[in-house]
Structure 1
Amino acid sequence: MQPSEVWATHQSSTVVSPRWPVQAVWCILQSNPARACFPRVYRLSYQHETGGPVAQSLQAQKWHCIDIEFPCGNIERPFEISLEAEFAGPGGATLTIPGFYNGDDTWVVRFAPTAEGEWRYRTAAGAQGLDKKEGALLCVPNTKPWVHGKLVIDTDHPRHFVYEDGTRYFTIGFELDWLFALDLETGTLDKTSQIIDEVAGNGFNHIVMNVYAHDVTWEIQGRGTPHDYSNPARFVFGGTNEEPDHSVLNIAFFRHLDRVIAYLQEKEIIAHLMVYVWNKRVNWPEKGSLADDRYLDYVVARYQAFSNLVWDVSKEALTYDYCGQDYITNRGRRIRARDAYNRLLTVHDDNYCRKNPGEVDFHSVQTWRSDLYAQMLGLYGELSMPLFNIEHGGYEKGPYKTFTGDYQDPYACLERNYECIFAGAYSTYYWQCSSWNIVIGEVSSLDPKVRPHWEYFKYMQEYFADIPYHELMPAREGVMSGLLLAKEDHSLYLLFKPTGSHAFHFTPSPDVKTYDAEWFNPVTGERQAAGTFERIHFREMECPWGEHMALLAIRCYKE
């Protein structure tokens, strides 16, 4: 995707406001109107005759970002200037949105209206040229089918997610730590869109990503190849990672990250944004310093309006002895204090989530244990929030050996994802040639012998579109082996047969008279009816694919 496609139209006009004897000149930049997720930008340049504020009506769709720009020159240290706008909307709704410096003597307040109707705003700033600016906008209905509002916890099923508009969300995660870096040198989205399109087309809807990462700390294959994105072309701060200037932030870097997150939204993918990472050779500011706070505040101000955003304070937050729990808690609370939209927040650290459940909205766990199902099931029983296995030790192999973990076989990796699902949790996938700094985006062109098996997750997403996962709970009664999910009323059982067994022996609840059964092959996507059966004790259900991994859905009838 070229910049001309991202910024498809450019219009300018001059309007005299009937309320104030001033002239307002603005520039509207819109992305492709067919797929317009990137914030529309309104540049408001006031030529005041009386010094009074101007109210100019704009328009934005519900849950869509709009950038309201405020030019102000002659500011010596622009990143130190505070700016916020208080928005008042329908039904007494109020949102206080922090602004951010966007270069070119311009500050931005990025706003996404949450209710249809008129919204009015007024700024408060640490610079006279930005202070007490007023305006209004009209929120109109959302017309884009890929925009659903923010991701929230389902109040009726608090271990599960749902979108704000009620759309169900079956989470299938994919870690792409260096996604931000793929097109930094060119300013396009060519490579970024290529891999996101592949990922989205295979059922993944939750990308775990860093704001910035520099390099890995272990030996890898692929160094020096076109797939090596170590030492990114742009640093997140001023200067370089080797000689950083933490007093400023790299505007060009963040403008590109804007486009990446916006493109994820077009593909109905949640951006699970890890604000920090400790083992990727990033030269961070001193913990808790003014520069550290400035970075965090800037990220929150710039990205909170994207409705497809979830916060993660840090990848492997407490693993490397870089910081303690108090620092992570401070960072999380600082995010919450500045995020007017209350996006979901987690921490990539099981111990932190266990000890601080009130600080996170869902529990993230990393575990490689061979008894994965048992561990996840134990956590499920302890929690009353969604459980997200963010790293289970399975890293599917590819052309380069980068980080093998304990499981490389695609079949074994898939089975571990299903173990999480049948424990009532959600899970994440890793491919060795995309999850870190070695990124192969042209997956479809690879030799099938080394191509990743992303199609397994396409079949998974398609299958669970027909299964009310949020109504199922882990269970044991009724089966002698395998894993089981069941509805509370016993109208639906979902069974998982691991590799090595050839059948289930199944007994439904006593009030069931008949049931239909259907097999699902998670490797091919094939479904095969097993038939309709009368209830008997201990019926053998033999898998049509022998000892291969399989699922069996049983729908029960009591009359």
Structure 2
Amino acid sequence: MKKQPYLKFYDDPTKQMRMRIIGFLFAIMSLNLLFAARAQDKIEVWGRYEVTFETKTSNNPFNVEVEATFTNGDTSMTVQGFYDGDDVYRIRFMPIRTGRWSYVTKSKEKPLHNKRGSFYCTEATGQNRGMVHVANTYQFRYSNGTHYYPFGTTAYAWTHMSDDMENRTLASLKNAGFNKVRMCVFPKSYDLVKEIPPRYPFEIKRQSTNNKGNTNIEWDYSKFNPAFFQHLEKRIAQLDELGIEADLILFHPYDKGRWGFDALPRDVDTRYLKYIMARLSSYKNVWWSLANEWNYLKAKSVDDWMHIAQTVNANDPYNHLHSIHGATATYFDYWRPEFSHVSIQDETPVLSTGPAAMLRQIYGKPIICDEVGYEGNLKFRWGRYSPQTMTRLVLNGVMAGIYVTHGDTYLYTDARDTVFWAKGGKFRGTSWKNIAFIRQVVEACPNPLQMADISRDFETSTAGKGYYFVYPDDSSSERWSFNLPAKNATYEKLAPGTRFKVDIIDFESMTITPLPEVFETGPERDYRLYDKDLKSVRMPGKPLIALRVVEI
């Protein structure tokens, strides 16, 4: 009887070995594919998970509503999706806790309805610290509990420049030490910003040019331009990689009728806000600044701004930081719950530490002076501070427990020139270096700074038990007699017999000089404790000097 061919095949040891090898390789490939599929289903906490669908609709795709509810144990969150062009719909979600998340979609469009899936959320790694939140009334923390101190700069229209210019801006920010950037969503038309932006937020319905060469654009407000927002997202993600918060200005008055984005009807405002919330809320480094100089947008009333604030809060499932900024000394009702912190344009609070500390007590919220004036050489008084003045204003705010935003406004030719405050590019001043040094000193503190004995002592700040800064108002003083207030904010009172070391910190030359002496507090006298031997410190006799006094 003849052997069957397949039996003959297996009688060949070489062929058996080949089959085993092929089977082994196939198994490895299958495992790799399985691992790859699982890897795609994992994301870090505070990362961004995205569900994508491709489908055509007969109606305006920007009118299609789709949402997804994500569930993890007893936590459930519903987020809105959006149309991203080319028949693509996206739903983005930022998981706020680890573990298995499952989701189900909801939409009137059948291809988008009742779609299910899940992913696993892992612990954060590297520099992923999560979102920034308000903490302890006056301060900020990341989601992981790390203190966040806002040392920001300004580059209003940097995402509306050429790719080369925007890349130069990112390169400057990478080495500057800032951890927040104020930036506009809409393009800007201003004395120092005349460029035609490469892309616009809405689709163009009609475009014409008059006999003077001016371009008139009629917008289709029912359709967004996904490329505009994709570009903005790209830059926000790059800022996140640098550890920088994107303080997004949603509306501004620097349009002057050129595009009409400063006078959109309320229904268009609402539509725009819901779209940008759906697109960007899942980015952990986003803040919402409802407006820059809100009172200069004449087409909008206070009621309109409250509607905008409520729309933002209702459509941001993660409760990102949110505020509104007015023109000089124009304050909004910042104590309202719609605002997480105070964002003001006023140098008065930081001309010294006292007013800054008082303002903090009035609002009971974190205070950021987002515009006190800028270092530069402009003809405008707000844009011609010296590096020393810019640094002093930042330092005054920090010592009082509030924060101040930097700006670089040097101009050497005309509107074609690059002014960082307006367009980004390269810093031309020097105060950014001093501010980076201030940030290093502040981040080395055990706790955020505040006045130790508010309303009574405007020179002594505290960062906790046994950790002080003395920032003399009179920089010409030759000596400082060692003395500290008995009161130490909300911390334990200072006791006699406490021993201290002192460092002289020069914020202009960016040096720290430890003193060899040891100081020891004597008995309390009239609410203060002096060195028991009445020792003193010889001062450098120059501005921007502080003494760091730390318990041994």
TM-score (norm 1): 0.78
Contact 2:335/2:364 (<8 A) preserved: no
1:237 has 2:237 as partner: no
In the alignment, which of 501, 507, 512 is matched to residue 516 of structure 1?
A: 501
Contact 1:310 1:343 in 2 (8 A): yes
Candidates 143, 146, 149, aligned match of 2:130: 149
Q: CA deviation at 1:117?
A: 1.6
Contact kept? 1:498, 1:549, Cα under 8 Å: no
Maintained 8 Å contact 2:263/2:300 = no
1:550, distance to aligned residue in structure 2 (A): 0.8
More helix by share: 2
2:358 to 369, 378, 397: 378
**1:267 and 2:242 are equivalent in the alignment:** yes
* Counterpart amino acid of residue 58 in structure 1: D
Q: Deviations over 1:317-341 (max 9, x none)?
A: 2244332221111111111111111
With over 3 angstroms needed to count, the CA separation of the structure-2 counterparts of 1:98 and 1:478, relative to structure 1, is closer
User: Deviation digits for residues 236-260 of structure 1, max 9, x if unmatched?
Assistant: 2122794132221111111111110
Task: Tell me which moved more, 321-330 or 354-363.
Answer: 354-363
Larger deviation, residues 315-324 vs 381-390? 315-324
In structure 1, the residue matched to 2:10 is none
2:338 pairs with 351, 359, 366, which one? 359
In structure 2, distance between residues paired with 1:121 and 1:435: 46
Query: Alpha carbon RMSD of aligned pairs, Å?
Result: 2.9
* Aligned counterpart in structure 2 of residue 105 of structure 1, from 84, 87, 96: 87
Q: Which of 225, 229, 234 does residue 254 from structure 1 map onto?
A: 229
CA change 1:468–1:389 in 2 (3 A) is farther
Q: Which residue of 2 aligns with 1:161?
A: 140
1:335-361 deviation per Cα after TM superposition (whole angstroms, max 9, x unaligned): 111111111211113755436532211
Structure showing greater radius of gyration is: 2
Separation (CA, whole Å) in 2 of partners of 1:123 and 1:56: 22
Q: CA deviation at 1:468?
A: 3.1
Change (3 A) 1:78 1:371: closer
**C-alpha displacement at 1:82, in angstroms?**
1.1
Give distance in 2, aligned partners of 1:371 and 1:111.
39
C-alpha contact 2:390 2:431 (8 A) present in aligned 1: no
Distance (Å, rounded) in 1 between the aligned partners of 2:544 and 2:312: 42
Structure 2 stretches lacking a partner, 5+ long: 1-35, 208-214, 411-417, 487-493, 522-529
Asked if the contact 1:512/1:556 (under 8 Å) is kept, the reply is no
Is 1:552 matched with 2:547? yes
Kept in 2: contact 1:272–1:309 (CA 8 A): yes
Say if 1:527 and 1:478 are closer, same or farther in 2 by CA, change over 3 A: farther
Aligned amino acid, residue 470 of structure 1: P
Q: Distance in 1 between matches of 2:379 and 2:44?
A: 43
Deviation at 1:116, TM superposition (A): 1.6
How far does residue 365 in structure 1 lie from its aligned partner after superposition?
A: 1.5
The alpha-carbon deviation at position 201 of structure 1 amounts to: 2.3
Label 1:300 to 1:551 Cα distance change in 2 as closer, same or farther (>3 A): same
Mapping for residues 311-322 of structure 1, pairs under 5 Å? 311-322=288-299
Question: Aligned equivalents of 1:242 and 1:293: distance in 2?
Answer: 24
Tell me what 1:419 maps to.
396
State whether structure 2 residue 464 is matched by structure 1 residue 464: no
Distance 2:399 2:421 in 1: 31
Instruction: Tell me: CA distance 1:351–1:357, structure 2 relative to 1, closer, same or farther (3 Å).
Output: farther
Q: CA deviation at 1:498?
A: 5.1
1: distance between equivalents of 2:168 and 2:145? 30
| Greater Cα shift, 509-518 or 199-208 | 509-518
CA distance in 2: counterparts of 1:126 and 1:194, whole angstroms: 45
Equivalences for residues 322-401 of structure 1 within 5 A: 322-349=299-326, 351-354=330-333, 356-369=335-348, 372-373=351-352, 374-393=354-373, 395-397=374-376, 401=378
Normalized against structure 2, the TM-score is what? 0.79
Deviation at 1:540, TM superposition (A): 3.8
What is the CA distance between 1:375 and its match in structure 2? 3.2
Contact 1:285–1:292 (Cα < 8 Å) also in 2: no
Distance, in Å, in 1 between the alignment partners of 2:387 and 2:475 is 16
Mapping 1:285-300, distance limit 5 Å: 287-300=264-277
Please give the secondary structure, in 1, of the residue aligned with 2:392.
helix
Q: 1:277 aligns with which of 229, 252, 257?
A: 252
CA contact (8 A) 1:152 1:161 kept: yes
Structure 1 residue 402, shift from structure 2 partner? 7.5
8 Å CA contact 1:407, 1:413 repeated in 2: no
Aligned partners of 2:358 and 2:53: how far apart in 1? 52
Tell me the equivalent position of 2:28.
Answer: none
The Cα of 1:160 is off from its aligned counterpart by 0.4
The CA distance in 2 between the partners of 1:384 and 1:58, in whole Å, is: 42
For residues 85-132 of structure 1, the C-alpha deviation after alignment (integer angstroms, 9 at most, x for no partner) is 11111x311111111110001111011212222111111123222222
**CA deviations over 1:498-534 (Å, ceiling 9, x no partner):** 5742343442237233321111111222100123223
Percent of aligned pairs with the same residue? 22
Query: CA distance change for structure 1 residues 404 and 285 in 2, over 3 Å: closer, same or farther?
Result: closer
